[in-house]
Amino acid sequence: MTLKRLEMHGFKSFAKKVVFDFSAPVTAIVGPNGSGKSNVVEAIRFVLGEQSTKSMRSKTGADLIFKGSKQIGKMNRASVAITFDNTKRIFNLPAMDDQNLPLDFDEITISREVHMDGGNKYSLNGNEVRLKDVHELIASVNIGSSGHHIISQGEADRLLNSKPAERREMLEESLGLKLYHYRIKDAERKLEKTREHVREAESLRRELAPHIKFLKKQVEKIEKARELEIALADLYTNYLVQEQSLLARKKFETDSALQKLTNELSHVEEKLKQLGSDESEDQVKQEESVLVSIRNHIRELSRTRDDLGRQIGRVEGMIESATRIIPARQGVVSVTISEIETLISELESDASISVSEIIKKLKLYIVDKKGSPQTQISVDTSEFETTKRELESQIAGLDAEIAKQEQEIVSVENKMAETRAMHLDRERGFYEAQAQRSDIVSRRNILENTTNELKNRAENLRDEYGHAENLVGSSVVDLKNKFLNEQVAIDEQGLRTMHHEIERVKIRLEDMGGGGGGDIMQEFDETVTRDQFLEKEITDLTNALMTLESTIKDLKEKLGSEFKNGITKINKEFDIFFKLMFGGGDAKLDVVTIEKRKKKELDEEGNEIISDEEDDQEEKEQGIDIDVSLPRKKVKDLDMLSGGERSLTSIALLFALSQVNPPPFLVLDETDAALDEVNSQKYGDMIENLAKQTQLVVVTHNRETMSRADILYGVTLGSDDASTLLSIRFEEAVKVAK
């Protein structure tokens, strides 16, 4: 057996998971109306990829999911899985689009899930696949989601009611020719894509043509500039090597001279540091400070001496005054107290340390005499003489001290003269060292300027290398490590002349399009290569077009040939089954030609294409007509057949199809409902004959049909409003069916 199992869960009325085991040639499914028998057939359509919800008696995908009941909740998805026996590897077709389906298994299980949002998921042995893969897979074993192998109630005469073109399609499917249509369609799709690619390639070539022409003119200019580039390369080779050799020599010389001057400058700086640390100036300042101090001291001594002189004068005046007033007593004078007080005041303003004692005595004397009524007192002039002598003695001491200090000034001034002389010598050496340093710094600045000039020339040289690389190629990079021998003389004037020549050639190259020539040549080569590639691609695509057209032609010829042979075989079996069903008569299928108007073709500018041939606007298509002749009647038109006659005719035709190209299984959904007892017997006989060729799944109420089944499945609607699968005996099945 090819069909092994059918599993349903949540599909329509089957809320709980149920499993149908198809292990016999004929399996009958029975049950009362509304129990869900036909849902089993629709589950088979569903899992085989049926897209028409109408054929499964629903409006949307969500209608295929169990809606729920009082006892069972609403479900979110429905799933159906169908399993085939593949031990003989009947499923062996590679999928299209370079994807191989995993078919090397003893069992092939196709699964489909539908969700509340209408989304579907297809799986093959647990691996997710596309709907297209499912269609191509089942087409390889002569089955589909609908067609001759699934005949539902009310569709038994679909072949009879269909238009000729639709009838041809159904017959092609029953003959296993659907795969040719898939391949033809795929080849035509590839053909159209190939034509589109050809148009794109030709369009690109047309776009490239003027650009290639333009680039070719540019290339001609570039080729003329090649000679200049070669000459420039020779100039660069000589110039770059000589310039970098000269720069290297000058840099070495400059760096050596700078190092020497740096050493000299360091020595001079050390000398300046030593000379700059001269302490003689500080010493002179100290000595000048000493002189100032001594002179200040002399001035102080002189002031004191002058004060003492004035005091002596006053004392002498007092002596003279006393002598003049009281000459009676020798050595004694008489003075008034007020005169003594005046003297004391004068002495206090100019008093020295030695006079202070006299003042004290005079004060005591006045205090002693103040109480006397006499207004005059007698004074001993000898005391004034003594005071005078003491003052004169102090003056002599001050004169001696002043003389000593003046000698000290002479000594300090001599020492200062020596210090100044030594300072002048060191200062002279300092200025000489500064002059020497200035000279060194000046020479070093000149060398540093030279170094900067060399750096600028080195920068220019690097830039020149960049220009050279752009203009004559990367080979100039190798020149960076080449230097002339030191014994080889380099003419700087010749170098400048050479550089001017290089600049002149560069300008000429730029005028001729040089400098970017490499990019233009590359673009020209790439564009030409692209054009050649497109030319080759157009050739290859043209060859592919011819191959595809030949393939399509061969497929159509093979399809036509096999269809013609299939019709011959079908007619043979159709006639046999027709005679068996009607007890005589004739029935056959005729291939007819259907002409239909072609769609208008437009060119690129939107104009209608007019063909030279008159019938080019007509496209020919084949269809199928059915001719029948009932025994003992003059009926030849299908429209004149009764309902029972149409049913028997369609059954005869369907059974004939099954005999010519037997599908792995055949599903009959109450196709015997309209048969009387006699015809039911004939129908049962045909069922047994068909079971020898193909596996049958029969949904029926007919007792005769049930009697020919090997396995009976009863479907009933439970108290939970869900379909339930029952295991029943034949007699019970008859009761259930009634």
Q: Which residue has the tokens 């006699």?
A: 678
* Angle at the Cα of 456 from the Cα atoms of 450 and 457, rounded to 5 degrees: 90
CA distance 100 to 649: 41
What is the number of alpha carbons within 13 Å of residue 157 lying toward its C-beta?
17
Check residues 13 and 413 and name the one with the higher pLDDT: 13
Is the pLDDT at 303 greater than 70, yes or no? yes
The answer to whether the CB of 402 falls within 8 A of the CB of 301 is yes
Domain range list for the chain: 1-149+669-726, 280-426
Tens of pLDDT, residue by residue over 657-704, are 877 877 788 888 888 887 788 888 888 888 888 888 889 999 998 899
Element (H, E) at 726: strand 723-727
CA distance 225 to 511: 10
Nearest partner of 651 among 714, 707, 705, judged by Cα? 705
Going by pLDDT thresholds of 50, 70 and 90, the confidence category of residue 328 is very low
Going by pLDDT thresholds of 50, 70 and 90, the confidence category of residue 80 is very high
The overall pTM is greater than 0.85: no
How much is the mean pLDDT over the chain?
81
Is the pLDDT at 301 greater than 80, yes or no? yes
**Distant-in-sequence, close-in-space partners of 342: CB < 8 Å, separation ≥ 6:** none
- What letter represents residue 636's amino acid? K
Point out the least confidently predicted range of 230-244, 438-452, 624-638. Answer: 624-638
Nearest partner of 603 among 293, 320, 199, judged by Cα? 199
The separation between CA 287 and the C-alpha centre of its own chain, rounded to angstroms, equals: 85
177, 160, 705, 580 alpha-carbon torsion, rounded to 10°: -90
* Helix%, strand%, coil% for the chain, nearest 5: 60, 15, 25
Q: Which residue has the tokens 């060399």?
A: 454
Main-chain phi, psi angles of 353, to 5 degrees: -60, -40
- The DSSP call for residue 106 is S
- Residue 142 DSSP SS3: coil
Q: What is the pLDDT of residue 219?
A: 81
CA distance 91 to 139: 10
Maximum distance among all Cα pairs of the chain, rounded to whole angstroms: 220
Q: What is the pLDDT of residue 97?
A: 47
**Distant-in-sequence, close-in-space partners of 8: CB < 8 Å, separation ≥ 6:** 14, 17, 18, 40, 43, 78, 79, 80
What is the number of alpha carbons within 13 Å of residue 497 lying toward its C-beta?
5
How many CB atoms are located within 10 Å of the residue 129 CB?
19
Nearest partner of 66 among 50, 77, 54, 55, judged by Cα? 77
Size of the chain in residues: 738
CA distance 524 to 231: 24
Name the CATH superfamily for 1-149+669-726: P-loop containing nucleotide triphosphate hydrolases (3.40.50.300)
The answer to whether the CB of 625 falls within 8 A of the CB of 164 is yes
The answer to whether the CB of 57 falls within 8 A of the CB of 41 is no
DSSP string, 645-672: HHHHHHHHHHHHHHHHS--SEEEEESTT
The answer to whether the CB of 358 falls within 8 A of the CB of 383 is yes
Hey, which bits of 134-204 come out as E strands?
150-151
The answer to whether the CB of 698 falls within 8 A of the CB of 709 is yes
Is the pLDDT at 196 greater than 60, yes or no? yes
Element (H, E) at 138: helix 131-139
Beta strand 618-629 pairing with 586-597: antiparallel
The separation between CA 569 and the C-alpha centre of its own chain, rounded to angstroms, equals: 65
Point out the least confidently predicted range of 20-29, 153-162, 348-357, 676-685. Answer: 348-357
* 523-550: b (≥16 Cβ within 10 Å) or e: ebeebeeebeebeebbeebeebbeebee
End-to-end CA distance of the chain, in Å?
A: 30
Tens of pLDDT, residue by residue over 234-289, are 888 888 888 889 888 888 889 998 898 889 888 888 877 777 655 556 666 787 78
Q: Which residue has the tokens 């000595």?
A: 287
